[in-house]
């Protein structure tokens, strides 16, 4: 058989998550990764014969500041070949090593990034003031008066909630961060609807739950399920556990926003505003549920076209119907 691997000389199989945690759970090894990252000892691809910037053995040992050769060697050997690569010229990070470095950078910020600020939009549910907060690497929009959109599934008053790495906050003001958070969330949802995890490329499993006795009196969450929405979906990565639990309407509108399914000239897909997203969800979305087998159909009315996305109980898109506003609906 032809050898088509980038790294034909390396045996990279068989490192379990537990083994990876064990290898990385050591200060010296993380320091080796940090030093290589800072030295730009990376490479675009993980091919064996690269010309990347590398660090010499002695240069690396010097920077990591370990005098004991045996000890330094041992830790290097633990990291290779999965996280670092030895080449004829020295050492560099592998693809996995770079990902570790990028993850550490993404979650580390500067001293203080948390904020709480009132934003211009009013609550789409009750008209009260709305606040944006950033806390513990979560970005949240909350109403200062009402229960919000998620009932008891999120902290009281929540209108939007997404994880947001600290590094992406250092160069953005709160308004820009909100637009970025919304867009990232729409992209996460889109990947999930295609069955792919954005964190690890793993397979997404889904399940749908329906509140059988759902009641939604103006603004009040349903007494049975505690939320204003009757159909919720759980989408979870089988491999890394990355998950979202949201009303099916939010999965459908997230997909619509990120893929431009709705032909709305007003909606700038690169920075949808919170107001646009919520007003779309609130005034232009209609959901119907049918049983045996379960089907949830979400109709979204855009500026020039209307489309209906029909989902089964595994969140597969079983039907997508799109028509221009001028066309008549089938009888
Ligand atoms: Zn409110
Ligand atoms: Zn209910
Ligand atoms: Zn995953």
* Residue 262: closest CA among 315, 325, 311: 325
Query: What pLDDT was estimated at residue 47?
Result: 47
Query: Which ligand is the nearest neighbour of the Cα of 127?
Result: 1
Measured in angstroms, how far is the CA atom of residue 125 from the centroid of ligand 1? 5
Residue whose entry in the numeric block shows the structure tokens 């990876």: 20
Q: What is the DSSP string of 113-148?
A: --EEEEEEEEPTTT--EEEEEEETTEEEEEESSS--
Q: Which two tokens stand for residue 15?
A: 């490192």
Residue 10 lies in a domain: no
Query: What pLDDT was estimated at residue 188?
Result: 92
Q: Where a domain ends, among 107, 129, 148?
A: 107
Measured in angstroms, how far is the CA atom of residue 216 from the centroid of ligand 2? 7
Rg of the Cα trace of the chain? 24
Residue 329 lies in a domain: no
Cis-peptide into 293, omega within 30 deg: yes
Measured in angstroms, how far is the CA atom of residue 233 from the centroid of ligand 2? 14
Give the integer Cα–Cα distance in Å for 123 and 131. 9
Measured in angstroms, how far is the CA atom of residue 242 from the centroid of ligand 3? 5
Measured in angstroms, how far is the CA atom of residue 124 from the centroid of ligand 2? 20
Measured in angstroms, how far is the CA atom of residue 192 from the centroid of ligand 3? 10
Residue partners of 318: CB distance under 8 A and separation at least 6: 295, 310, 311, 312
Judge if 157 and 232 occupy the same domain. Answer: yes
Query: Which ligand is the nearest neighbour of the Cα of 227?
Result: 2
Residue 34 lies in a domain: yes
Query: What pLDDT was estimated at residue 263?
Result: 55
Query: Which ligand is the nearest neighbour of the Cα of 244?
Result: 3
Give the integer Cα–Cα distance in Å for 6 and 59. 27
Query: Which ligand is the nearest neighbour of the Cα of 226?
Result: 2
Residue 200 lies in a domain: yes
Query: Which ligand is the nearest neighbour of the Cα of 216?
Result: 2
Judge if 312 and 241 occupy the same domain. Answer: yes
Give the integer Cα–Cα distance in Å for 254 and 277. 9
Judge if 201 and 309 occupy the same domain. Answer: yes
pLDDT digit string, tens, across residues 195-215: 999 999 999 999 999 999 998
Sheet holding 285-290, edge to edge: 285-290, 295-301, 305-311, 317-324
Judge if 94 and 188 occupy the same domain. Answer: no
The yes-or-no verdict on residue 5 having pLDDT over 70 is no
Q: Please, what's the b/e burial string for 250-281 (b: 16 or more CB within 10 A of its CB; e: otherwise)?
A: bbbbbbbbbeebbebeebeeeebbbebbbebb
Residue whose entry in the numeric block shows the structure tokens 């709705």: 262
Query: Which ligand is the nearest neighbour of the Cα of 149?
Result: 1
Judge if 300 and 168 occupy the same domain. Answer: yes
* Residue 274: closest CA among 120, 147, 154: 120
Judge if 82 and 120 occupy the same domain. Answer: no
Q: How many other C-beta atoms lie within 10 A of the C-beta of residue 320? A: 10
Measured in angstroms, how far is the CA atom of residue 204 from the centroid of ligand 2? 26
Judge if 124 and 239 occupy the same domain. Answer: yes
Measured in angstroms, how far is the CA atom of residue 199 from the centroid of ligand 3? 5
The count of C-alpha atoms lying within 13 angstroms of the C-alpha of 169, restricted to the half-sphere facing its C-beta, is: 22
Give the integer Cα–Cα distance in Å for 231 and 34. 45
Query: Which ligand is the nearest neighbour of the Cα of 126?
Result: 1
Residue partners of 150: CB distance under 8 A and separation at least 6: 158, 161, 227
Judge if 166 and 213 occupy the same domain. Answer: yes
Query: What pLDDT was estimated at residue 2?
Result: 52
DSSP one-letter code for 166: G
pLDDT digit string, tens, across residues 100-159: 998 888 888 766 778 888 888 888 778 899 999 998 889 999 999 988 888 888 899 999
Judge if 300 and 192 occupy the same domain. Answer: yes
Residue 246 lies in a domain: yes
Q: Where a domain ends, among 107, 126, 142?
A: 107
pTM confidence score = 0.79
Judge if 161 and 294 occupy the same domain. Answer: yes
Residue whose entry in the numeric block shows the structure tokens 């009888």: 331
Measured in angstroms, how far is the CA atom of residue 241 from the centroid of ligand 3? 6
Residue 306 lies in a domain: yes
217 versus 29: which is more confidently predicted? 29
The yes-or-no verdict on residue 270 having pLDDT over 80 is no
Q: Where a domain ends, among 61, 77, 107?
A: 107
Judge if 99 and 136 occupy the same domain. Answer: no
Residue 5 lies in a domain: no
Instruction: Give the least confident one: 159-168, 222-231, 277-286.
Output: 277-286
Measured in angstroms, how far is the CA atom of residue 321 from the centroid of ligand 3? 30
Measured in angstroms, how far is the CA atom of residue 100 from the centroid of ligand 3? 15
Give the integer Cα–Cα distance in Å for 63 and 137. 31
Domain count, the chain: 2
Judge if 67 and 126 occupy the same domain. Answer: no
Give the integer Cα–Cα distance in Å for 75 and 220. 58
**CATH number for position 39:** 1.10.10.10
Give the integer Cα–Cα distance in Å for 47 and 258. 33
Q: Which two tokens stand for residue 90?
A: 């020295």
Mean pLDDT of the chain: 83
Note down the domain range covering 300: 115-324
Neighbours of ion ligand 2 (CB under 5 A): 211, 214, 222, 224-225
Neighbours of ion ligand 1 (CB under 5 A): 123, 125-126, 128, 143, 145-146
2 versus 240: which is more confidently predicted? 240
Residue 331 lies in a domain: no
Query: Which ligand is the nearest neighbour of the Cα of 225?
Result: 2
């Amino acid at each position: 058989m032809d050898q088509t691997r980038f790294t034909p000389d390396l045996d990279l199989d068989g490192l379990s998550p537990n083994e990876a945690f064990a290898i990385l759970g050591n200060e010296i090894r993380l320091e080796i990764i940090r030093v290589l990252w800072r030295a730009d000892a990376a490479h675009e691809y993980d091919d064996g014969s690269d010309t990347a910037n590398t660090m010499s053995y002695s240069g690396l040992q010097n920077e990591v500041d370990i005098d004991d050769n045996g000890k330094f060697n041992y830790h290097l050997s633990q990291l290779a070949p999965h996280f670092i690569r030895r080449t004829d010229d020295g050492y560099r990070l592998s693809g996995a090593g770079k990902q570790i470095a990028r993850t550490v950078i993404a979650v580390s910020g500067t001293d203080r990034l948390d904020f709480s600020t009132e934003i211009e939009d009013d609550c789409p549910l009750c008209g009260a003031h709305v606040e944006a907060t950033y806390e513990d690497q979560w970005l949240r929009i909350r109403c200062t008066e009402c229960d919000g959109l998620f009932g008891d599934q999120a902290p009281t008053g929540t209108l939007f909630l997404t994880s947001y790495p600290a590094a992406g906050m250092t160069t953005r003001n709160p308004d820009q961060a909100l637009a970025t958070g919304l867009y990232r969330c729409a992209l996460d949802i889109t990947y999930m609807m295609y069955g792919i995890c954005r964190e690890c490329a793993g397979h997404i499993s889904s399940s749908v739950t329906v509140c059988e006795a759902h009641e939604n009196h103006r603004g009040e969450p349903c007494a049975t399920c505690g939320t204003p929405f009757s159909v919720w979906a759980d989408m979870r990565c089988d491999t890394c556990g990355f998950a979202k639990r949201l009303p099916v309407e939010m999965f459908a509108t997230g997909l619509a926003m990120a893929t431009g399914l709705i032909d709305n000239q007003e909606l700038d897909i690169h920075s949808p505003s919170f107001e646009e997203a919520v007003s779309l969800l609130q005034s232009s979305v209609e959901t119907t549920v049918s049983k045996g087998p379960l089907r949830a159909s979400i109709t979204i009315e855009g500026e020039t076209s209307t489309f209906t996305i029909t989902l089964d109980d595994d969140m597969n898109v079983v039907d997508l119907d799109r028509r221009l506003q001028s066309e008549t609906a089938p009888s």
